[in-house]
Amino acid sequence: MTTTPQAPLLAMKGVSKSFPGVRALAGVDLVLHRGEVLALLGENGAGKSTLIKILAGAYRPDAGSIVINGHALSFANPIHAQRAGISVIYQEFNLIPSLSARENIFLGRERTCQGFIQRRAEQSRALELFAHVGVQIDPETPCRELAIGQQQVVEIAKALSQDARIIVMDEPSAALTSPEVERLFGIVHELKVRGIGVIYISHRLDEIFRIADRVMVMRDGQHVATRPTGQVTREALIEMMVGRKLESEFPKRSATVGKERLVVKHLCRRGKVRDVSFSIRAGEVLGLTGLVGAGRTETARLIFGADRSDSGTITLDGRMLRLQNPRDAIRAGIALLTEDRKSQGLVLGQSVRENFGLPNLSQMSSWGFVQQRRESSAFARFVESLRIRIPHHEQLARNLSGGNQQKVVLAKWLQRNCEVIIFDEPTRGIDVGAKYEVYLLINELAAQGKAILMISSELPEVMGMSDRILVMHQGRISGEVADVPNSTQEDIMRTAVG
């Protein structure tokens, strides 16, 4: 294929797509150059995923064109897109855990000779691909034994093995530790040096300013603007994404802290949680942070009764709790918004109404039968107050955006009117506008006198929302930040690394 002089690597022009009752894209333009990182930003539901699925050949556009190296192309399916040099690395990796890294890289494209797989040739090529991105991985290691960051490298190697010239990364850092994020940035730099164009989708604006050459913002299925990263501010990006000016990324509130409500003393669990003690007062947002694996989620699961503690006590409003399981915690007035809402917070194959009703069946049932009208009526109040975007109450949970899924999880716990609410990574994978709404809700719950424990890996979020911060390291509380406004992220990180 001949390359047209000075033609962009990729040009999507006037792309439109509609689904029954929904116009997902309206005349969207996207341009990507060789060796460039283009950040694609927008709220959940802005049309980013639909645009990428059209580029990947999963959807056919109603109108518009895709031009690669100056040549107009049309993709009937994802295989055609891959042959044109397009590879998409989704947030949820397409790897088979039981197969080795090598087998996953060449799956469906095995190198064979007279019907036999040439393992040595595949191993050699896999090592070569890993070397290209500066990472050493044994090609014969089963993917289930690889860390998340290493699995992502396997996905990138798979893309490179297909001679991808355009790589789309969808929320690539969502589940990575800080060192893995730094490694990812190094890999992206190597891809740029090789002339590969990268479309980088992320809700983490700090990353965008570090990694992207240009930013493209979408809203309501339309292209809002594309700007060089150095010519746009964080505040301007947020305003373009949400369509309105936010006075502050973290809404302010005046904390009125009351008496102690939740008191945890000497909590332990087999090396995961070691002698953890703290308290949360009425109206207080207590931040809990630390590196991945520090024991934060494990502590939350003990308080919620999802795991059994080896020792220690949990007291709520002066009453000692004996938590054998989550049912006991829910009855006591404790709610947990889990870190992974898809696998632990929702039943994806059930409707949003049914998900809302699950922890509230005692309120929604009569004589052993669920009263669907009562359930739907109660849920409708939260659909309005939380601004949950759904076409109807029978919509399957799996079909919602990340932000709307999180709101459904919030709704079911708000119906319980719990007194202690644990938010574990409450804004992971959701957009700036939805984050702001979650922050407002946290503030509102605190104002009602609830005790809030907020676990987050994002230090700006912890510092912007917390009245007090606890830092964990290797299963222990390694420090406390009482004067949050006069502390820095560096102070917290030093405590987090021990």
pLDDT level of residue 247 (50, 70, 90 thresholds): low
Question: pLDDT of 308-340, one tens digit each?
Answer: 999 999 999 999 999 999 999 999 999 999 887
pLDDT tens digit string along 433-442?
Answer: 778 888 988 9
- pLDDT (0 to 100) of residue 2: 45
pLDDT grade for 498, boundaries at 50, 70 and 90: low
All structural domains of the chain with their residue ranges: 10-242, 260-496
- The yes-or-no verdict on residue 159 having pLDDT over 90 is no
Domain 260-496 maps to which CATH number in 3.40.50.410, 3.30.70.100, 3.40.50.300, 1.10.287.130? 3.40.50.300
> What contacts 259, CB < 8 A, 6 or more positions away?
281, 282
Give CA–CA dist 98/100, Å, rounded.
7
pLDDT in tens, 273-312: 999 999 999 999 999 998 777 889 999 999 999 999 999 9
Average pLDDT over residues 237-256: 77
Fold classification of 10-242 is Rossmann fold (3.40.50)
The strands making up 311-316's β-sheet, listed across from edge to edge, are: 273-281, 260-269, 311-316, 319-320
Mean pLDDT, the chain, whole residue set: 88
Question: In the 3-class helix/strand/coil scheme, how is 38-103 assigned residue by residue?
Answer: EEEECCCCCCHHHHHHHHCCCCCCCEEEEEECCEEECCCCHHHHHHCCEEEECCCCCCCCCCEHHH
Residue 450, CA atoms < 13 Å, CB-side half-sphere: 25
- Measured CA to CA, the distance from residue 18 to residue 26 in angstroms comes to 8
In this prediction, residues 361-382 reach a mean pLDDT of: 83
pLDDT exceeds 80 at position 368: no
Higher pLDDT, 178 or 161: 161
Asked if residues 206 and 460 have their Cβ atoms less than 8 Å apart, the reply is yes
What's the pLDDT score for residue 345? 81
Count of alpha carbons within 13 angstroms of residue 261, beta-carbon side? 22
pLDDT recorded at residue 256: 82
Give the residue among 24, 31, 40, 26 at the shortest CA–CA distance from 9.
Answer: 31
Output the CA–CA distances (angstroms, integers) from residue 382 to 211, 385, 418, 458, in the order listed.
38, 5, 15, 27
The pLDDT assigned to 241 comes to: 84
Q: Do 10-242 and 260-496 agree at the fold level?
A: yes
> Cα–Cα distance between 296 and 290 in angstroms, integer?
7
Judged against a pLDDT cut of 70, whether residue 16 lies above it is answered with yes
197-201 and 37-41 beta bridge pairing: parallel
Mean pLDDT of 396-404: 82
**Whole-number Cα distances in Å, 122 to 64, 117, 184, 242:** 39, 9, 24, 47
**Least confident piece of the model among 254-268, 289-303, 400-414:** 400-414
Which of 317-326, 359-368, 458-467 comes out lowest in average pLDDT? 359-368
Backbone phi, psi, residue 281, to 5°: -95, 165
Q: How far apart are CA 245 and CA 239, in angstroms?
A: 5
Q: What is the pTM of this model?
A: 0.68
- Cα 388 off chain centre by: 18
pLDDT greater at residue 123 or residue 370: 123
For residue 131, the SS3 value is: helix
